[in-house]
Amino acid sequence: MLYVVMTTPLCNLHCSYCGGSLHGMPDDISYDVDLLQKRIAKDSESIVAFYGGEPLLRPNVVKRLLKKLPAKHFVINTNGYFVEKIADDLSSFDTILLSIDGRKHITDNYRQQGCYDQVLTARDIIYDSGFQGELIARMAVSKNTDIYDDVTHLLDLFPLVHWQLDVVWSALWELDEFKQWAEDNYKPGLKKLIDEWIAEVKKQRIPGIIPFRGIMTRLLYDIAGLPCQSGDNSISITTDGKILACPIAPDYEWNDLGSLSEGFHRIHVQDPCLDCNVYSVCGGRCLFANRERLWGKDGFDAICDVTKYLIYELEKYTSFCEPIKERIWYPPFNNTTEIIP
C-alpha cells in the first residue's frame, strides 16, 4: 500500500493553479507516529510518500520518519526550495518528484519568479548527493502550456516527465477555454509527442514520458483499476491522523475514510466511468474528478474526451511496443504518478 504522509499543510509558494497552503489541519504532525510505524511494519510492500503543502518545510520530520518507518520504498514530492536540508538523506529515496511546469517563462509564470532556476539547482544537488533512484519532472499543465514544447524541453533536463491537467478545480480557466486549448494545442501536441516517442521506441530507445509508458503498460499487460489507487491501495494521512483517499481534497466528506487510531474504509470510482469503453485502461482517471464534477457533465465529458484521445492514439502502436514491453513497463511501484493526466 502507498501511504502519503503529509508533513505539513503549509507551502512557501502560492502557485496560481493551486492557491498555496492547505487548510483544516494542524501545521505539524500531532498524531502518535508509532501507530503509522506499526501499520507499515505489517505491510511488506509498503511505500511512503512525503507530501504537503511543501514537505521539506519540515526537513527534520522527513529525516526522522525515514529512519523510523520500515517502508520498502520512499518517495517525496517537493518544489525543490529546501532539498539541501536533507542532502545527506537523498539516497534513501527511490523516487523524487520535482515540481516544474516546462520552460522557464511558463514555470515562473505559474509559480513564482526564480522557481525554474531553483528546481534546476535542486536537481543538481540531488545528483551530486549520489541519488540513484528515479528523478521526475512533475508538471501542472494549464492554459499557458504548450504541451509539446514544454514536455520536450523538460526531457532535455530530466530522465522522466509526468504531467497532470489543471482541470475541474482550476481557477485559471473555464471549460470553454479548456475545450479550445484541447483542440488547438493539447491533442495536436500529444500526437506529435506520440509520433516522436514511437519513432524512438522503434529504435529500442524509450523516452521517459510517463503517461505514454504507463498507458502502454496498461494496454500491453491488461492492467486495470484506478492508476493512483487512491481510496483503495493508497491512503493519505493528514497531520492530525485522519485518513483520506486523496491528499488534495481534505475538505470533502466522501474523502474522509477514517483515522490511524480507529481504522478506515475503502472507496472506489463510480459511474459513469464503470461503463466507459476505456475504463479497463483509464480506471476512472481521477477519484476527485469522478466524485466532484465541478465543471458539470459537459466538463466531465470534455476531460474524458482528451483521455480517450490519448489512449486511442497510443493503442495504435501496441504491436511496435510488444517486443520490448518489459522495458516500457511503468511504474515500478506506486510512486504517486497518476499515469492518466
Beta strands in the chain (DSSP E): 2-6, 47-51, 73-78, 95-99, 134-141, 160-165, 234-237, 242-244, 256-259, 263-264
List phi, psi (to 5°) of 281: -100, -45
The secondary structure of residue 253, as a DSSP letter, is G
Integer Cα distance of 147 and 325 in angstroms: 25
pLDDT tens digit sequence for 225-273: 999 999 999 999 999 999 999 998 888 999 999 999 999 999 999 999 9
C-alpha cell of 69? 518507518
8 A C-beta contact, residue 246 and residue 17: no
8 A C-beta contact, residue 92 and residue 99: no
pLDDT tens digit sequence for 207-221: 999 999 999 999 999
Integer Cα distance of 303 and 86 in angstroms: 38
pLDDT tens digit sequence for 15-40: 999 877 788 899 999 999 999 999 99
Of 1-10, 21-30, 138-147, 258-267, give the lowest mean pLDDT range. Answer: 21-30
pLDDT at residue 173 in the model: 94
Task: Count Cβ neighbours within 10 Å for each residue of 180-203 and write b for 16 or more, e otherwise.
Answer: ebbeebbbebbeebbeebbeebee
Q: pLDDT band for position 170 (50/70/90)?
A: confident
pLDDT at residue 298 in the model: 95
Residue 263 φ/ψ region, left for φ over 0, alpha for ψ in the -120 to 50 degree band, beta for the rest? left
> Is a pLDDT exceeding 80 seen at residue 98?
yes
Q: Does domain 2-328 have CATH number 3.20.20.70?
A: yes
Integer Cα distance of 147 and 152 in angstroms: 8
> Is a pLDDT exceeding 80 seen at residue 292?
yes
C-alpha cell of 217? 503498460
Of 24 and 101, the structure prediction assigns the larger pLDDT to 101
